[in-house]
Structure 1
Amino acid sequence: MSLGRIVCIAFPYAVTVGALVSLIFVGIGSTNSKSSTDNDLYFFRADLSNLTISGTSLLSAAESALSDLTSRSDADSALESALTDAVGKSNIRDFYDIGLWGYCSGNKTSDGKYVVDYCTKPKAEYAFDPVEVWGLNSSSADSAIDDILPTSLKDALSTYKAVSKWMFIAYIIAFAATALELIVGIFAICSRMGSFITSLISGVAFLFTAAASITATALFAVYTGVFNSDLKQYDIHGSMGKNIFVATWFATAFAFAGIFFWLMSSCCCAARSPYHGNHRRNRVMAEKAPYTYERVSTPYGNSPYIGGSAPAPAPVDPYTQHHNVPMQPYRSDAYEPFRHV
């Protein structure tokens, strides 16, 4: 492991962390009524604070419904009748914020602030149903729930319920793949193969993050348009959230950057081995070749020819002694004896 390798991995690791944090912001939206951060993260807001029924405001409609329930028979539509009845029973809040796991509701203050005081328990594959949440299906004036909403809004709501399940699954897979990318990315510090494997995982994370972001944006854009078109006469207004879409598209951008930089780290910045560069050269210089020789000490260390004070006794060799072969004196100009290593 080298410092260059660590620096090379630091950037893709950082953008992966950014993608994971952005996905966490998407997931916590509209889940905690006591958190101002969570309350600012929503896909869609239905504002009913200015709800008007038959030319009356929300308050006057409630008073009218409580004082004279027969007035609902004069409603222009089944939806108007259901809204009048729901207002009379105080089933409708000023606004509703829709998140990934549920919705939050609350009241709108006189200065225009939205104060959340209730959030549902997180639920997988959640889809907001205004008929159920607003209590429109409790109206005795309507024989069939399907007749409450206009046809276009009912179709948009059905599409939203179906697509929201896929959107939820895509976000869960994107979150899991991004978390796995961070875990495997630790091993990328040691090798380029680790970077390559991490880049494959980052590809999966980007695919599902982008798919979830595109789905959420398109889904709620269409839903908002139909919602405002069909409920405009009641002064019910729908709007898309800002912060949660910023978070989801930041996650997409980070995920895309992760693919690019993980691939870059798998092609360069190899971890330095002990046999690389100067380390290898130094090691080769210090090693001995397999057939080198070194000088051995002479048995005639005390010979006068080499500075000794007295001649050393000649070694007795059984072979030369037996054949009366005289031992030659040591010559300083002869070749030095060597030994094989």
Structure 2
Amino acid sequence: MGKGGRIACIITPYLLTIATLICIIIVGLGCTKASSSTLSNLYFLRIDLSNLTNGTDTTSEIENLLEEFGITSVNASEVEDLVQQLASNEADSLVKEFYDIGLWGYCDGDIRDGDFETTHCSKPKSEFYFDPLSVWGLDNSTAVKDELPSDYNKDMKIYKAVSKWMFIAYIIAFILTIVELLVGFFAICSRWGSCVTTLFAFAALIFTAAASITATVLFVVFRSTLGNTLKAYGIKLSLGKNMFATTWLAVAFSLAATFFWVFSVCCCSGRSPYNHKNRNRGLIAEKAPYTYEPIGATGALPPQQHHTSYPPPPNNSYPMTHQPQHASPYEPFRHS
């Protein structure tokens, strides 16, 4: 198998690596452009504030919600006061009906006839995490902070730290995947190139999987814990299926690419069977030309009987090892 076979052997992992890179790029592009419905629908978590901004829940309804979810850190009056502040004319210009959280930033907009229409996306920021009070301009309001659940600040600190690690993991996975593609060119030449590429592919797989696992665990836990508390305020949390499908597709492509890179190390050497260095392999050494030996010496044919002046032996035949050297001028010979 020559260079053509070598190229055919690595084309599969190379295409899978490209697919991994595309998925990681799509994850990074989520919630970065309001005018694109495709990119605006790529989010990890959606925060629906439509009930909160309308302020439709009464005190009795809030009490029922607090009792339903077992929330004891706040009472109905505190929740109602916070909802009124957020739904007031002063806050209404800042608080939107929904927020979508992405890797680099967030998008917000309004809900019209049941459709989520994105109107604005924040500028991309490294190590981004969504701070609702900062986004709403209420981070300096002590009255609002006092009326939030006691676990709110603790949960936000954990969310901030994990979001930072998730962002770093995605960036490292992106860089390693690019390096994997660049080093993959050298895999055409030899198995050593495949071996080095496999190392980068394995590292890219680790960070891609780590980022996807972190994102999944973070927002699932965020929705299940803090989401129950926020339901008392009329806030609903939901996960973005498109974003999680994309990030886990990146993991699947990266895993498949790593497997085939390992396969290219074990097979498809790329060495031509017609290489001049291998031409003399497997050949049997032959005797020099013009070298002959009597056929009778090997027992291939029985010794021919000739009339000679020598007295015949008792058994009328000559032993193979004592046959006369010149029994006949026409003694048959064979080429070695």
Bucket of the pairwise TM-score, normalised by the shorter protein: 0.7 to 0.9
Give per-residue Cα distances to partners, 1:94-132, cap 9 Å, x unaligned: 11000000101111111x111111111100000100111
CA drift at 1:232: 1.1
Q: Specify the SS of the correspondent of 2:51.
A: coil
- The AA in structure 1 aligned to 2:10 is I
> Given the two structures, how large is their TM-score scaled by the length of structure 1?
0.72
Partners of 1:263 and 1:193 in 2: CA distance: 11
CA drift at 1:265: 0.1
CA 1:272/1:50 → structure 2, altered by over 3 Å: closer, same or farther?
Answer: same
- Taking the TM superposition and a 5 Å limit, the aligned residue runs for 1:24-35 are 24-35=25-36
- For structure 1, which segment, 146-155 or 203-212, has the greater mean C-alpha deviation from structure 2 after superposition? 146-155
- Taking the TM superposition and a 5 Å limit, the aligned residue runs for 1:77-116 are 77=79, 79-85=82-88, 88-110=91-113, 112-116=114-118
1:131 aligned residue: 133
Partners of 1:208 and 1:267 in 2: CA distance: 25
CA 1:2/1:48 → structure 2, altered by over 3 Å: closer, same or farther?
Answer: same
- Taking the TM superposition and a 5 Å limit, the aligned residue runs for 1:300-339 are none
- For structure 1, which segment, 224-233 or 125-134, has the greater mean C-alpha deviation from structure 2 after superposition? 224-233
Q: Specify the SS of the correspondent of 1:30.
A: coil
- Taking the TM superposition and a 5 Å limit, the aligned residue runs for 1:1-341 are 2-51=3-52, 52-53=54-55, 55=57, 75-77=77-79, 79-85=82-88, 88-110=91-113, 112-137=114-139, 139=141, 142-143=142-143, 146-273=145-272, 276=273, 278-280=274-276, 283-284=279-280
Superposition RMSD on alpha carbons, in Å?
A: 2.7
CA drift at 1:37: 1.5
| Number of residue-to-residue matches in the alignment | 267
CA drift at 1:282: 9.4
Higher relative contact order (CA 8 A, sep 6+): 2
Structure 1 regions of 5+ residues with no counterpart?
57-73, 294-341
Partners of 2:112 and 2:55 in 1: CA distance: 21
CA 1:250/1:87 → structure 2, altered by over 3 Å: closer, same or farther?
Answer: farther
- The AA in structure 2 aligned to 1:80 is V
CA 1:130/1:253 → structure 2, altered by over 3 Å: closer, same or farther?
Answer: same
Question: Identical aligned pairs, as a percentage?
Answer: 49
CA drift at 1:279: 5.0
CA drift at 1:49: 1.5
CA 1:188/1:3 → structure 2, altered by over 3 Å: closer, same or farther?
Answer: same
CA drift at 1:258: 1.6
Give per-residue Cα distances to partners, 1:287-315, cap 9 Å, x unaligned: xx9xx99xxxxxxxxxxxxxxxxxxxxxx
Q: Specify the SS of the correspondent of 1:137.
A: coil
Is the Cα–Cα contact under 8 Å of residues 86 and 92 in structure 1 kept in the other structure?
A: no
CA drift at 1:88: 4.6
Q: Specify the SS of the correspondent of 1:26.
A: helix
Partners of 1:196 and 1:96 in 2: CA distance: 45
Partners of 1:14 and 1:33 in 2: CA distance: 31
> Given the two structures, how large is their TM-score scaled by the length of structure 2?
0.73
Partners of 2:8 and 2:35 in 1: CA distance: 40
CA 1:3/1:42 → structure 2, altered by over 3 Å: closer, same or farther?
Answer: same
Q: Specify the SS of the correspondent of 1:136.
A: coil
